[in-house]
Amino acid sequence: MKCAILAGGLGKRLRPLTSTLPKPLLSIAGKPILVRQFEWFRNYGIKDFVSCVGYLKEKIVNYVGDGKKFNVNVSYSFEEEPLGTGGALKNAEKLLKNESHFFVLNGDVITNLNPLKLADELKGEIVGVIAIVPLTSPYGIVDIESSSMVKGFREKPVLGEYWINAGIYCLKSGVFDYLPVKGELETTAFPRLAEEGKLKAVKYDGVFWRSIDTHKDVDEVEKALRNRA
């Protein structure tokens, strides 16, 4: 089974770090995001990757090569202009269409969740399964009593009643019929699949999951990973 990594984004919110380096190669706690993703999937027996690259693509190709030095196999799908997550995956169709199903991963995600659970749910008419994780509040919470007296404070608690897209999917090859030539997977294919009853979600609670979008994320994830070591 293959995993497509969507690694073509501009990483604008991380500049100047991403002015000369693509976001998937940013070092987090001493190791590039992309390498962490290789190692994570390799732990679950998946060693074949399609890297969908665009912005500063030559940096990724030069660093990763064919993946052998990371004990994986890497092929590439190149985009000459930003295509969005849906367009990038559509652009890689020739490398994935012969797979009965495959994983798709955003190139800025660091997690330890078990992706194989997604494949287990890809049954019947279901075309796609997405991983979802509990929403963590970006702010601290103030707990108050009915009398408005402050009971205490909670720093960025998990809001268990809300779930967010973790940027990790398992898809059947039929998804290519839903993908745009240019556009976002999350706003084109997924709404259509949901409307047709062909999209499912798997909840992951109690796992480590973060996406690297801002400088604050870099600092917080580095601290969290070093504390887990």
Q: Are 133 and 63 in contact (CB under 8 A)?
A: no
**Dihedrals φ, ψ of 5, to 5°?**
-105, 120
Q: List the catalytic residue out of 156, 203, 216, 223.
A: 156
Q: Are 173 and 99 in contact (CB under 8 A)?
A: yes
Token representation of residue 119: 């494949």
Count Cβ neighbours within 10 Å for each residue of 117-142 and write b for 16 or more, e otherwise.
Answer: ebbeebeeebbbbbbbbbeeeeeeee
Instruction: Specify the DSSP class assigned to residue 13.
Output: G
Does 151 participate in catalysis according to the annotation? no
Rounded distance between C-alpha atoms, residue 186 and residue 43, angstroms: 27
- Three-state secondary structure readout of 56-106: CHHHHHHHHCCCHHHCCEEEEEECCCCCHHHHHHHHCHHHHCCCCEEEEEE
Cα dihedral 18, 54, 130, 96, rounded to 10, equals -150
SS3 173: helix
Active site residues: 156
